[in-house]
Amino acid sequence: MKEKIWKQISEVRTKSPLVHNITNYVVMNNTANALLAAGASPVMAHAQAEVQDMVNIAGALIVNIGTLDEYWVESMELAAGRAKEQAKPWVLDPVGAGATPFRNQVLQSLLKLQPSVIRGNASEIMAITNVPGGTKGVDSIHESVDAVSSAKHLNQQTGSVVCVSGAADIIIHESRVVKLSNGDPLMSKVTGLGCTASALIGAFVAVNPADPFLATVSAMAFLGVAGELAARKSAGPGSLQLNLLDVLYSLPQEEFMSVIRIEEKNEE
């Protein structure tokens, strides 16, 4: 599996897919920079007059509801609807799911448009499946393992690959489960690294639309390993944000292979 993952990372670097993001104001800059550092080509666009045309030319779409409003929701539905029509991969980041009824309603309507991948933190994944317990705005108050049964349920209900992020990143599709244990606690002190994860999943699913599970595992492994290595040389969140871009840009294969911690299970 590690070799297959590295192949995906190389393909993103060489193929440089166009990734269309409808994302939040907080993270537009860091996610665009992370996509560029990984080798992809980002575009942020949310005007209703152009989102469908942008989906037509992009390799994948990311819909992130971080700072949504009514206009943006219509843009998201138009874009995701076009992606569904064209069988083009799209990734849903359910930022703040469970925090307000508005977010929950929007998510239920976006789920009908069949995202290829859903990536959220544990509280968000639990909230989408109506598990009571709450959320603290956009930050998780649960551990990834708490959300595994919700993630399995969500995968069965939607057919989407589901990724729960946090100290462990858990990726679920049908009988397959992968657990990645990279990253660093300092990563939760930089805003939007979950959003960055979702954006990277978009780049990976654009180069491998036939296998969104492998694409998601690869993107999460890449971010986790890069974040862990970047944290080792960072004094705090400020330098981590910068160092992460440098490591995404230049991470060599040998270092990736020696740092990745991955466990696979097939529950058939």
Ligand X SMILES: Nc1ncnc2c1ncn2[C@@H]1O[C@H](COP(=O)(O)OP(=O)(O)OP(=O)(O)O)[C@@H](O)[C@H]1O
Q: Interface with ligand Cc1ncsc1CCO by CB under 6 A: which residues? A: 24, 26-27, 66-67, 95, 138, 191-192, 195
Nearest distance in Å: CB 140, ligand X: 5
Residue 268 corresponds to which tokens in the numbers above?
Answer: 């058939």
CB of 24 to ligand Cc1ncsc1CCO, least distance (A): 4
* Segment lying near Mg ion (by CB under 5 A), choices 30-38, 101-109, 191-199, 224-232: 191-199
Q: Out of Mg ion, ligand X, ligand Cc1ncsc1CCO, none, which partner does residue 167 contact, by CB within 5 to 8 A per kind?
A: ligand X
3-state secondary structure the chain: CHHHHHHHHHHHHHHCCEEEEECCCCCHHHHHHHHHHHCCEEEECCCCCCHHHHHHHCCEEEEECCCCCHHHHHHHHHHHHHHHHCCCCEEEECCCCCCCHHHHHHHHHHHCCCCCEEEEEHHHHHHHCCCCCCCECCECCCCHHHHHHHHHHHHHHHCCEEEEECCCEEEEECCEEEEECCCCHHHHHCCCHHHHHHHHHHHHHHHCCCCHHHHHHHHHHHHHHHHHHHHHCCCCHHHHHHHHHHHHHHCCHHHHHHHCCEEEEECC
44 annotated ligand binder: yes
List interacting residues with ligand X (CB under 6 A). Answer: 95, 121, 138-140, 165-167, 169, 183-185, 187-188, 191-195, 197, 220, 223-224, 227
CB of 139 to ligand Cc1ncsc1CCO, least distance (A): 8
Q: Is 194 annotated as a binding residue?
A: no
| 138/247 with CB nearer ligand Cc1ncsc1CCO | 138
Please identify which residue in 37, 58, 61, 95 interacts with Mg ion, judged by CB under 5 A: 95
119 labelled binding-site residue: yes
Q: How far is the CB of 191 from ligand X (least distance, A)?
A: 5
Residue closer to Mg ion by CB (options 139, 263) is: 139
- Of the pair 77, 228, the CB lying nearest ligand X is at 228
- Residues forming contacts to Mg ion in the complex (CB under 5 A) are 95, 194
Q: Which residues are annotated as a binding site for substrate?
A: 44, 192
Q: Which residues are annotated as a binding site?
A: 44, 119, 165, 192
Q: Which residues are annotated as a binding site for ATP?
A: 119, 165
